[in-house]
Amino acid sequence: MDKNTLDSVSARVAKAKAQRKSLLLTGNDVTLVAVTKNHSVDVFDDVVRLGLTDVAENRVQEAKIKQELLGQKRDEPSLAKLRWHLIGHLQTNKARLAVKLFQIIESVDSIRLMELLDSEAKRIGKVQEILLQINIAEEAQKTGFSIAEYREAVAKINDFANLKVRGLMLIAPATEDTDRICSVFQKGYEEFVRLQKDYPVDILSMGMTDDFEIAVTEGSNEVRIGRAFFGDRDYSIKF
Ligand SMILES: *Cc1c(COP(=O)(O)O)cnc(C)c1O
């Protein structure tokens, strides 16, 4: 990724913000999260050189290997300050490692997982930041809480002393129907506003390469960008 690439994504985010209908409760700042999955550790040099602070991986094992490789580059202190996001489905048997490796786990999608993350965080004296992932489009193949399960999870938030729920994460349906994508993001924003009445949440993570402009216009304040930054993923790299 070069500076032009970053500038062009930033400009598109700014334009999408300018199209917002009104002042949103998610604020004016949009965090750019660089999705580094299926890329070599070389891309992290670009990430820090261009001043990005947040990276996302979808697999715990891949993040572990990358953190180990990057840990060997002691000459680059900004690497140590990166905020690591987990955005892929988390299996319960990886909860311990995920708590160790990630500043924020965005893909929390069951009460069972919340219980486990809370106890693993407690074990190491950490307060684990999480987002609740909602499957608003209610697509069978997608991960995330159904709306009914999500409401149950919200009712339990205060039971988990070692979890800090920062907000919500959504993935739009894979469709070219922009009205449909837009309506999913609108519902995400509505749920965020509703949650914010009772809890001090501040992150609404919506939008990827193909739909981040719609997401930002509808109120997202965190976009997860892979291909627009780094081009196509390289599935031949094995981690
Ligand atoms: C892979 C992935 C992204 C990034 O996708 P791009 O289309 O490459 O921007 C964002 N969010 C999640 C949850 C992902 O799995």
Overall domain count for the chain: 1
212 within some domain: yes
Q: Which of 117, 111, 63 is CA-nearest to residue 85?
A: 63
Q: What would the mean pLDDT of 94-106 be, rounded to a whole number?
A: 97
Q: What angle do CA 198, 202, 208 make, to 5 degrees?
A: 130
Nearest CA to ligand 1 atom 8: 226
Spacing, Cα 224 to ligand 1 middle (Å): 6
175 contacts 181 by C-beta, under 8 angstroms: yes
234 within some domain: no
216 within some domain: yes
194 within some domain: yes
Is residue 35 scored above 90 in pLDDT?
Answer: yes
Residues at CB less than 6 angstroms from ligand 1? 35, 37, 58, 87-88, 171, 208-210, 224-228
**Which atom, in ligand 1's list, is nearest to the CA of 107?**
13
Q: How far apart are CA 132 and CA 167, in angstroms?
A: 6
Looking at the DSSP bridge assignments, the partners of residue 105 are 86, 130
**Residue 148 sits in a domain of what CATH number?**
3.20.20.10
213 within some domain: yes
User: What is the phi/psi pair of residue 69, to 5°?
Assistant: -65, -45
The whole-model pTM stands at 0.96
Query: In which domain, by residue range, is 187 found?
Result: 3-17+25-227
Q: How far apart are CA 201 and CA 132, in angstroms?
A: 11
Spacing, Cα 1 to ligand 1 middle (Å): 16
147-155 helix and 111-123 helix, angle to the nearest 10 degrees: 40
Choice between 238 and 63, residue whose per-residue pLDDT is larger:
63
238 within some domain: no
Element (H, E) at 56: strand 54-57
112 within some domain: yes
Tokens for 182, please give them: 């837009």
Q: What is the pLDDT of residue 103?
A: 97
Nearest CA to ligand 1 atom 13: 87
Choice between 50 and 137, residue whose per-residue pLDDT is larger:
50
CA 44 centroid distance within chain:
17
44 within some domain: yes
Q: How far apart are CA 137 and CA 183, in angstroms?
A: 9
Nearest CA to ligand 1 atom 6: 226
Q: What would the mean pLDDT of 9-16 be, rounded to a whole number?
A: 98
